[in-house]
Amino acid sequence: MNHTYIEENQIAERYVAGTLADAERERFEDHYLSCQECLDRLEVTEALQRGFKRMAADEDPPRPATRQLAVVAWLAHLGRSRQIGFLLAALLVLAVLPSGLALRGAAEHGRELAQVRSALEQEKQRSAANAGSAAEAEKLRVELKTSRRERASEHEQLALALQPQANVPIASLDVERGAGPLGAEPTNRLQQPAMGSIVFELPVDPPLKNSYRAILRDSQGHEITRVEDLHPSQRDSLTFSLSASLAPPGDYTFSIEGSTSGAKPIPAGRFPFRILPPPNH
């Protein structure tokens, strides 16, 4: 058995339908346990078969003719004398029925009216319930669509992230010394790349701490993101990368905090910088 054999003999389809002989089923199971191609084929085949059956069920609701055929089949199984007896009994019922119905007619009218009312009430309730489930289905449809769209977007971002990046901008920022003049513009400047990441290099002064964290804030002081567990490099600087999409053109500040075991974080420098629009803007 190989993939040509599996294809030619519809092994996957017959496996899903449960119509393979035991020996062949076992051989196919031993094969697909480690075969991604056959597992893909099995999943698609299952979905295809489900889809076909669902479609067929939608298109061919069970017909009352089946019941009529069942009665005919039952009659055919009876002996000749029983068939005649059954037919005579049916004729008798048909002859007696009209007079019986006439006697019961008046009482039936009242009962029928009550039944119609009750049926109408039930129908109303059913309509209300159906409206509810239709709304529920619509809500689910929208949720499903949104979640699929998000997933597609995540796929695209992931594919993008896995691509090698060329011309990655590296920003070596200078620490802000002293309070600086009020309203002064940042001297660290870099251009926003069209996509990808920016690598930041931030020098830290000795004595060095066990680890550092960098907090990125915008010009209003709102925190945008933070990078934890940074360790100084051999050049006494912290290096990390951030997605360029996090920081559109504008003024930002990195606040660096150092941590020692058990103590509160200690401020270890501020690095104001400005991101300029890309060159084509």
Partner 1 sequence: MSDNTDEPDEATVAADLVRRIVAGDASAEGQLVERYRRGLLYLLGHLGALPDLADDLQQETFRIVIERLRQGGLADPAGLAPFLRGTARNLFTGEWRKTGRRKTYSDTGELAQAVAHTPSPLQSLLLDEEAEMVRRLIAELPTERDRQLLRRFYVDEEDKDSICADLGLDRLHFNRVLFRARQRFKELWSASRNGRPQ
135 in contact with partner 1 (CB under 8 A): no
Q: Which residue in 104, 111, 117, 155 binds partner 1 (CB under 8 A)?
A: 155
- 126 binds partner 1, rule: CB under 8 A: no
| Contact residues for 203 (Cβ-Cβ < 8 A; gap 6+) | 172, 174, 175, 235, 236, 237
274 binds partner 1 (CB under 8 A): no
Residue 34 in the binding site for partner 1 (CB under 8 A): yes
- Report residue 51 as tokens: 């889809």
In the bound complex, what is the minimum distance in angstroms from residue 38's beta carbon to partner 1?
9
Minimum distance of partner 1 from residue 136's CB (angstroms): 6
36-59 vs 22-32: helix axis angle to the nearest 10? 120
The answer to whether residue 141 forms part of the interface with partner 1 (CB under 8 A) is yes
Q: What is the DSSP letter of 191?
A: E
| Gap between the Cα atoms of 45 and 38, Å rounded | 10
DSSP-assigned letters across all residues of 201-269: EEE-PSSPPSEEEEEEEETT--EEEEEEEE---TTSEEEEEEEGGGS-SEEEEEEEEEE-TTSPPEEEE
Q: Tell me how far, at minimum, the Cβ of 57 lies from partner 1, in Å.
A: 8
Q: Between residues 82 and 148, which has the closer beta carbon with respect to partner 1?
A: 148
For residue 189, give the H/E element and its range: strand 188-191
Query: Taking the alpha carbons of 110, 112, 113, 115 in that order, is the dihedral positive or negative?
Result: positive
The nearest distance, CB 48 to partner 1, in angstroms, is 5
Integer Cα distance of 39 and 3 in angstroms:
12
Closest contact distance (angstroms) between CB of 138 and partner 1 is 10
**For partner 1, which is the closer residue by CB, 41 or 217?**
41
Compare residues 115 and 147 and give the one whose CB is closer to partner 1.
147
**Residue 20 contacts partner 1 per CB under 8 A:** no
Residue 51 engages partner 1 in binding (rule: CB under 8 A)? yes
Q: Which of 21, 23, 36, 166 binds partner 1 (CB under 8 A)?
A: 36
Q: Which residues bind partner 1 (CB under 8 A)?
A: 1-4, 7-8, 10, 13, 15, 17, 19, 26-27, 29-36, 39-45, 47-56, 58, 133, 136-137, 140-141, 144-145, 147-152, 155
